[in-house]
Chain A
Amino acid sequence: MSLTGLYVARADSLGILFSELRRLGYVIVGYRVVDGVLRLEELDSFDEFAHNVEDIQSPGKYSLVSGGFYRHGPDSPKRFLYPPTLTLFRVSKEWVASTPTYEERNLAFFGLKPCDLASIKVLDRVLLGVDEYYTSLRRNLVLVVENCTSPGGTCFCSTMNTGPRARDTFDLAYTRLGDKLVLEAGSELGLRLLDVLEVEPIDDATYERFEVVMRNASEKARAGFELNGLPEELELRIESKVYKEVTERCLGCANCNMVCPTCFCFDVLDTPLIDGSAERVRVWDGCLNFTYGQVAGGHFRPDLWARYRHFVLHKFAYWIKQFGTYGCVGCGRCITWCPTGIDLRETVKKVLRGGKDG
């Protein structure tokens, strides 16, 4: 939700925003180029923030070239808000349990794209008030979002209604239009950040350009299916042969689960230590892993195709029942980072096309 409507500032105002957030004591997390890939990392200065670089993404392929507009890399906010490895509690040699106290940190995501903002909204439904670590970070989390003027090769945010323009939940949203920056505040803090910049209300010509750019971007990020009735249509076709067909190219490696910004499944490991104590550690898990469906007494998804089907249907059907939102935000990471380039968009389309028995 916009508190202000749109404002315009000079493009180099971004650096000022960055410095202001630092001054306010925030730990800033944004994209940095590391070894030829965009990584989400803590940034000490605006110079480290990735610029003048573009990610070329297609099914099973990722590379960076210079210039242009970038979307994202393999990391999503999940890596920070719901870390891959987390000690839940320790038990001392004398059998006394203690939970680690999580350090209070004021985190600010800087330059996240709307799909990743949407992923936080999804995780909120699942984890907020449930997961202590997530909740403690989320409470003070600042979200500075960059609207996506040029979606990439595996993006489908317009279909999922999560982009390319951020509509709510951000503190500040910005859009780069040549030498101009279009800004929108979504919170009190966002307003405060606007105050440190020289801004003017948006003029008609810039607004028109903004609208055109957003509209074009929106056209670029379509999957070729519609959300209308999708959960019901997919559930109706649960017996579709398409899942088996697609899975012929699936490795069962669970890369899709790991890079998905909303996959929140975990495994719990009890680890005895040499000093006689022990700890319980939570690690990322995923439904494509063989052991995921393995329980005492048996296995409820021993076939890989059933595990893949669960991944698809959870994102597009079951999630709605569980959490009242789709589990997929259309970021396309599962497509890009799948070693064999299995395309979720194609799977859904094929299932829909195949009819009830297809």
Chain B
Amino acid sequence: MRKLRVAVYKFSSCDGCQLQFLNLEDELLELSNFIEFALFYEARRFVGSGPYDVAFVEGSISTPHEVEVIKKVREESKIVVAIGACATSGGIQALRNWANEKEYKLYVYPRPEWIETLKYAEPPSKYIRVDYEIRGCPVSKEQLLSFVLQLLKGKIPTLPVDSVCVECKRRGNVCVLVARGIPCLGPITMGGCGALCPSYGRGCYGCYGPMIDPKPEVLNACFKELGLKPKEIQLLFKQFTNWSKEFRRVIEEYE
């Protein structure tokens, strides 16, 4: 069987998602029998040229240069998979979209004129067609592996898209919202993490971003009943996936 030629790219991001490939310590050797990391700067010095069967793309697009590169990635790859909160919604650095980026540059860099940025940090899907998304901050290595294995079997890869609540209940967690009054974004957040945070008694931070057809305004009414102030509610949404369409709406409403 011909190996799947894979490229792993990063844009504006922390490397945490691509690192999840390397965190597959028990499976990586076996996996390398089926896939070839033709381009994976974080893992190997060797760089194989395109075209690639699959490109995994981490990070958001925040500079003009990145726009050029992501377009090239699209041209060179049969399948483009956006991995992680940055590549699917803009990520943490999209928080700068809510501020004045020119002003920031003045504070941070001694020669701000050297720094070229776009007005917004946004997911690659803003500029190119993305075939699949794997959510999370970071992505779960189990999901990453499951995705790759499904591709290898010739199956159309599917990942869970229903609420975190479903995974919480399957796992046998007690609802932190109903039983403890802890604000939790689980009821509007896409599952796939296995309800990681509520499993440790914490509310969901929404790092997988909104599920299909979420109802944040309904959940916010619950939060208000718990005594949360509008600014506190806004901060719950102003996190990992703040630039996703549905969360953005909430943040704007409370701005």
CB nearest neighbor in B for A292: B162
Cβ of B44 under 8 Å from chain A: no
Which of B163, B166, B215 has the most chain A CB within a 10 Å cutoff?
Answer: B166
Which of chain A's residues has its CB closest to B211's CB? A290
Per the 8 Å Cβ criterion, residues 8-43 of B in contact with A are 27, 30-31
Query: Interface size of A by Cβ–Cβ distance < 8 Å?
Result: 45
Do residues A249 and B218 form an inter-chain contact, with CB atoms below 8 A? yes
CA distance A280 to B85 in the complex (A): 29
Given contacts A284-B166, A284-B170, A339-B175, contact A291 B161 (CB under 8 A): yes
Does A252 contact B161, Cβ atoms closer than 8 Å?
Answer: no
In the complex formed, the residue of A with least CB distance to B163 is: A253
Write out the residue numbers on chain A whose beta carbons fall within 8 Å of the beta carbon of B166: 253-254, 258, 284-286, 289
Is residue A304 contacting chain B, with contact meaning CB distance below 8 A? Answer: yes
Known contacts A251-B219, A253-B163, A289-B162, A74 near B175 by CB under 8 Å: yes
B82 CB to nearest chain A CB (Å): 20
Q: Is the CB of B152 within 8 A of A291?
A: no
Contact B218 A272 (CB under 8 A): no
Interface residues of A in 265-322 (CB under 8 A from B): 270-275, 278, 283-286, 289-291, 304
Complex: A272 Cα to B146 Cα, angstroms: 7
Q: Is the CB of A258 within 8 A of B161?
A: no
Q: Check B222–A62 contact: CB distance below 8 A.
A: no
Cβ 8 A contact of A274, one of B149, B165, B186, B213: B149
Contact between B178 and A337, CB atoms less than 8 A apart = yes
Nearest to A307 among chain B residues (CB) is B213
A252 and B163 contacting across the interface, CB-CB below 8 Å: yes
Task: Please tell me if A218 contacts chain B, counting CB pairs below 8 Å.
Answer: no
Whether B175 lies near A284 (C-beta < 8 A) is no
CA distance A336 to B155 in the complex (A): 40
Query: Assuming the A-B contacts A84-B171, A339-B219, A340-B222, are A253 and B27 also in contact, with contact meaning beta carbons closer than 8 angstroms in the complex?
Result: no
Query: Nearest-CB distance from B133 to chain A (Å)?
Result: 15
- 8 A Cβ contacts from A335-356 to B: 336-340
Structural contact, A61 and B178, CB atoms closer than 8 A: yes
B235 within 8 A of A: no
Instruction: Annotate A120-144 by CB proximity to B: 1 below 8 A, 0 otherwise.
Output: 0000000000000000000000000
Task: Please indicate the chain A residues that have their CB under 8 angstroms from the CB of B27 in the complex.
Answer: 274
Query: B179 interface residue, CB < 8 Å from A?
Result: yes
A85 to B172, CA, bound (A): 11
Asked whether any CB of chain B lies closer than 8 Å to the CB of A153, the reply is no
Q: A-B pairs with CB below 8 Å: how many?
A: 117
Q: What residues of B have a CB within 8 angstroms of the CB of A283 in the complex?
A: 170
Cβ A290 vs Cβ B221 within 8 A: no
Would you call A37 and B218 a contact (CB within 8 A)? no
| Smallest beta-carbon distance B93→chain A, Å | 29
**Contact A253:B170 (CB < 8 A) given known A340-B218, A340-B221:** no
A84:B170 contact, CB within 8 angstroms: yes
Q: How far is the CA of A84 from the CA of B175 in the complex (A)?
A: 16
User: B64 an interface residue at 8 Å Cβ cutoff?
Assistant: no
Tell me if B45 counts as interface (CB < 8 A to partner A): no
Encode B158-191 as 1/0 by CB contact (under 8 A) with A.
0001110110011110110111100000111000
B218 engages A270 (CB within 8 Å)? no
Give the shortest distance, in Å, between A249 (CB) and chain B (any CB). Answer: 6
A250 adjacent to chain B (CB < 8 Å): yes
Flag whether A241 is at the interface (Cβ < 8 A): no
B150: A residues at CB distance < 8 A: 272
CB-defined contacts of A63 to chain B, threshold 8 Å: 179
Judged by a CB distance under 8 angstroms, whether B128 is at the interface is: no
B180 CB, min distance to chain A CBs, angstroms: 7
Task: Tell which of B145, B178, B180, B186 touches A336, judged by Cβ atoms closer than 8 Å.
Answer: B178
Q: Which residue of B lies closest to A63 (CB)?
A: B179
The answer to whether B153 touches A253 (Cβ under 8 A) is no
B213 near A290: Cβ-Cβ < 8 Å: yes
Contact A253/B213 with A79-B172, A84-B169, A259-B169 known, Cβ cut-off 8 Å: no
Q: Are A291 and B162 neighbours in the complex by a CB distance under 8 Å?
A: yes
Q: Please, which residue of chain A has its CB at the minimum distance from the CB of B162?
A: A289
Q: Within the complex, what minimum Cβ distance (angstroms) separates A294 from chain B?
A: 9
Q: Is the CB of A36 closer than 8 A to any CB of chain B?
A: yes
The A-contacting residues of B in range 185-225, CB under 8 angstroms, are: 186-188, 201, 211-215, 218-219, 221-222
Q: Does A60 contact B (CB under 8 A)?
A: yes
Chain A residues within an 8 Å CB radius of B218? 248-251, 340
State which of B153, B169, B179, B215 has its C-beta within 8 Å of the C-beta of A37: B179
Chain B residue at smallest Cβ distance from A338: B178
Q: Which residues of B contact A79 (CB under 8 A)?
A: 172
Give Cα distance in the complex from A306 to B201, angstroms. Answer: 33
- Give me 8 A-to-B residue pairs in the complex whose CB atoms sit less than 8 angstroms apart, sorted by A's number: A63-B179, A252-B215, A258-B165, A259-B169, A272-B146, A339-B175, A339-B178, A340-B219
20 new A-B contacts at CB < 8 Å, known A251-B215, A290-B161: A34-B174, A36-B180, A60-B178, A61-B178, A63-B179, A75-B172, A251-B187, A252-B163, A252-B211, A252-B213, A253-B165, A253-B187, A253-B188, A254-B162, A258-B169, A270-B155, A272-B150, A284-B169, A284-B170, A339-B175
